[in-house]
Structure 1
Amino acid sequence: MKGFRLVQKSILNQNQRSFAHALTGAKVLVAGCKGQIGLPLVHALCKEVGRENVVAADISDKKADLPCKFEQLDVADFGRYEKIVKDHKITYIVHLAAILSALGERFPDRANSVNVTGFLNAINLARDNKCKIYCPSSIAVFGGEHFPKVNTPDDVILQPETIYGVTKVFNEMLGNYYHKKFGVDFRAIRYPGVISSEKYEFNGTTDYSTQIFFEALEKGHYKCFLGPKSDLPMIYIDDCIQGTIDFLKADSTKLKRRTYNMAGISFNPEQLAASLQKLLPNFEIQYEPDFRQKIADAWPKSIDDSNAQKDWGWSYNVTVDDLAQKIFDGIDEQYKQGLKKYA
């Protein structure tokens, strides 16, 4: 019987190892938890590791639908950041705090403070406290005339033309350096435009893809700040969150790089408007490109994410009609019922 117990214990240990992943046993801090990605990612992490093992933090102390502990945090404040990491015995930092492209062009100093100083604080804390760290990047890292804008691969010349893009290149390069120099488990996904079914502060160049639905429902028409043929890669928020969770869980030894492209699906405002008109036939759109057009023109039209597919199993296969239906179905039903006049 003693031998049987030893064999049984060995089998159990093998099974436990087979189900273990990079989030197993983690205490996770989500810094910048109240943005478009932060809120749903906090909920997903609570389901994955248990809400008692997740701490959400943000500079804003406004109430939000958070299922876990909350701490107020300005990521540029190292002392406060350090206290939260140590008090909660954090082992995995998810550093989401950032000033995005359009807002960053209006407030570049603020972008530097949040995107550079904040990230420096986060990665130094990861190094000093032996934490894993995830900091998302963006297609904003691409720019200039010396890279293929169709099926853009991971490794190309990066010459971004926005402060947001510049700071994200810094994040990627420093994270890779800390991984090689200090062994920090740094990870980043270059997100495409992320589309939501929720209203939020529309401060990004790809945000037309969400804003258009609310304007269509509320007004019956939309004035688009990009031209009709401005192709950009996009992804629906739920799919982005699931992909992020899968990446956070991935075995670090199987990751052949620290930053990965995520492609989503590429389309332009004209195509999205046509799909939206199938749901709201009376919807109309007009195009009045502003300063964000120049930003969009510098970015890839489509992305090659074959490395993500090979290394951690990422995949995405939807049509523009599928995407429009997802967005529309995800919008609060009571909200839609109150705005039926444009349908």
Structure 2
Amino acid sequence: MDTILVTGALGQIGSELTPTLRNRYDKVEVVASDLDPDPGVSPPYEPVDVTDRSQIESVVEEYDVDTVFHLAALLSAAGEQNPGRAFEVNVEGLHNVLEVGREYGLNRIVVPSSIAVYGPATPDNPSERTIRTPTTMYGITKVLAENLGTYYHQQYDLDVRGIRLPGIVSHETRPDGGTTDYAVDAFYEAVDEGEYTYFVREDTRLPMVYMSDAIDALIDLAGADESDLRFQCEYNISALSFTASELSDRIEERIGRFDARYEPDERQSIADSWPSTLDDTAARTDWGWSAEYDLDRVVDEMVQNLQRGAE
């Protein structure tokens, strides 16, 4: 990797992946990009709308990009509010990146997928090739993304690879538009207000991962030897699995009184359609995936950092 382009660099993952890449690869230029024309982030930064192929081409040409971490996407709950825009960004945007990758001979494109590719017909603890029956536009677009990546690899020998991310927990940037947002919002509200109303039931259990583990997974997969990979864009990774009430109990242990309420809304049906655990044997075997953070360590890190920030 000589020059990396990160699309969606202002989002929850991109805002932490970009500086991590810059710190880890001091001889590699990392170009951040997103929709905001002037976000005030460290350069190099270029405004890019991934639905406009010419904008992607312009940045790839100017910086001689050879690797892309393609993070630009509309998430699950936000996608249900505007399914047409979700399809445009998540599918047409990826197609533009893949076409630029094919035309300019990029070395590698890393594009995250999601547990949203699964659905009600998927049994719990699914592996990579378990049936995918998504019920959201976000999930549908991610199935298409996985298949597009595999197609471009098979037809054009373009190195496209990715992981299926579960919910991500981070104290740096609050998520916006995901079904698993409660697993982050609960921490913020607990520290700031001492209370939080979940939009899911207390027994809702979903797979999660701490941000630093998610970033390590993306970078480690990007650096893996292609000959070791049996899949392209559908590697499961799994780290944590907990219910909303288990999370509340752990938070209360750290901060004292925490008034947790549960008022499920339309996002509950999305959560119910996803598996509560994932089989990530392939990622562990093929490229050495292993999570560092368990639930107690995640809660400690989240509470300590948010309390420090509130001082």
Give TM-score, length-normalised by structure 2.
0.96
Cross-structure match for 2:116: 140
1:271–1:320: 8 Å Cα contact kept in structure 2?
A: no
Secondary structure, counterpart of 1:232 in structure 2: strand
Which consecutive aligned stretches of 4+ in structure 1 deviate over 6 angstroms post-superposition? none
How do 1:135-214 and structure 2 match up within 5 A? Answer: 135-145=111-121, 147-149=122-124, 151-214=125-188
Cross-structure match for 1:47: 23
How do 1:19-168 and structure 2 match up within 5 A? Answer: 23=1, 26-50=2-26, 53-66=29-42, 68-131=43-106, 132-145=108-121, 147-149=122-124, 151-168=125-142
Supply the AA of the counterpart residue of 2:24: E
Cα distance in 1 for residues equivalent to 2:148 and 2:309: 46
Supply the AA of the counterpart residue of 2:110: Y
1:143–1:158: 8 Å Cα contact kept in structure 2?
A: yes
Cross-structure match for 2:284: 309
1:176–1:186: 8 Å Cα contact kept in structure 2?
A: yes
Cα distance in 2 for residues equivalent to 1:272 and 1:243: 24
2:118–2:134: 8 Å Cα contact kept in structure 1?
A: yes
Cross-structure match for 1:9: none
Cross-structure match for 1:256: 230
Cα distance in 2 for residues equivalent to 1:256 and 1:189: 13
Cα distance in 2 for residues equivalent to 1:201 and 1:305: 24
Supply the AA of the counterpart residue of 1:210: V
Supply the AA of the counterpart residue of 1:29: L
Cross-structure match for 1:8: none
Secondary structure, counterpart of 1:198 in structure 2: coil
Cα distance in 2 for residues equivalent to 1:74 and 1:321: 39
Q: Identity percentage over the alignment?
A: 38
Q: Which runs of 5+ in 2 are unaligned?
A: none
1:323 is aligned to 2:292: no
2:113–2:163: 8 Å Cα contact kept in structure 1?
A: yes
Say which of 297, 311, 328 aligns to 2:272. Answer: 297
Cross-structure match for 1:274: 249
Q: Which runs of 5+ in 1 are unaligned?
A: 1-22, 338-343
* CA deviation string 1:56-114 (max 9, x = no partner): 11011342443x40000100001111111111111001110000000000011111111
Give TM-score, length-normalised by structure 1.
0.87
Say which of 244, 259, 269 aligns to 1:284. Answer: 259
Cα distance in 2 for residues equivalent to 1:63 and 1:287: 36
- Offset of 1:253 from its aligned partner? 1.5
- Offset of 1:201 from its aligned partner? 4.3
Structure 1 residues 87 and 319: alpha-carbon distance in aligned structure 2, compared to 1, 3 A threshold? closer
Cα distance in 2 for residues equivalent to 1:226 and 1:32: 27
Query: Which structure has the greater CA radius of gyration?
Result: 1
Supply the AA of the counterpart residue of 2:180: T
Cα distance in 2 for residues equivalent to 1:176 and 1:309: 21
Secondary structure, counterpart of 1:331 in structure 2: helix
Report how many aligned residue pairs link the two structures. 309
